[in-house]
Amino acid sequence: MASLRDIRKHISSVKSIKQITYAMKMVAAARIKKAQNSILASRPFARQMDRLIADLARELGEDDLAGTLACDLFRERPAGGTLGLLLVTADKGLCGSFNTNLLKAAAAWLRENRGRKVRVVVVGRKGRDFLKRLKGLDLQVELELVGIFPKVSYAHAQLLADQLAGIYADRSVESVTLIYNEFKSMMVQRVVTDRLLPLQAHILGEGGKGAPASDFSFEPGKKELLTALLPRHLGAQLYRTLLESQAAELAARMSAMESASKNASDLIEGLTLKMNKTRQAMITTELNEIVSGAEALGG
**pLDDT tens-place string over residues 50-92:** 887 877 777 776 666 666 666 777 777 877 889 999 999 999 9
Q: Using pLDDT thresholds of 50, 70 and 90, give the confidence band for residue 168.
A: confident
DSSP assignment of 104-165, as one string? HHHHHHHHHTTTS-EEEEEESHHHHHHHHH--SS-EEEEEEE-S-TT---HHHHHHHHHHHH
Residue 299 pLDDT > 60: no
CA distances (Å), origin 227, targets 57, 65, 72: 10, 9, 10
Whether 202 and 116 have beta carbons less than 8 Å apart is answered as no
What residue type is assigned to position 283 of the chain? I
Q: In what order do the strands lie in the sheet with 139-145?
A: 139-145, 118-123, 82-88, 173-183, 189-197
Whether 126 and 99 have beta carbons less than 8 Å apart is answered as yes
Supply the pLDDT for residue 62.
Answer: 62
The per-residue pLDDT of the chain, averaged, comes to 85
Alpha-carbon span 254 to 248, nearest angstrom = 10
Q: Using pLDDT thresholds of 50, 70 and 90, give the confidence band for residue 263.
A: very high
Out of 142-151, 163-172, 189-198, least confident range: 163-172
Q: What is the largest CA-CA distance in the chain?
A: 117
Phi, psi of 86, deg, nearest 5: -115, 115
**pLDDT tens-place string over residues 176-193:** 999 999 998 888 899 999
**pLDDT tens-place string over residues 18-42:** 999 999 999 999 999 889 888 888 8
**pLDDT tens-place string over residues 100-116:** 999 999 999 999 998 89
> Catalytic residues, which ones?
95
CA distances (Å), origin 199, targets 149, 230, 253: 27, 10, 33
Supply the pLDDT for residue 215.
Answer: 64
Supply the pLDDT for residue 157.
Answer: 93
Alpha-carbon span 23 to 16, nearest angstrom = 11
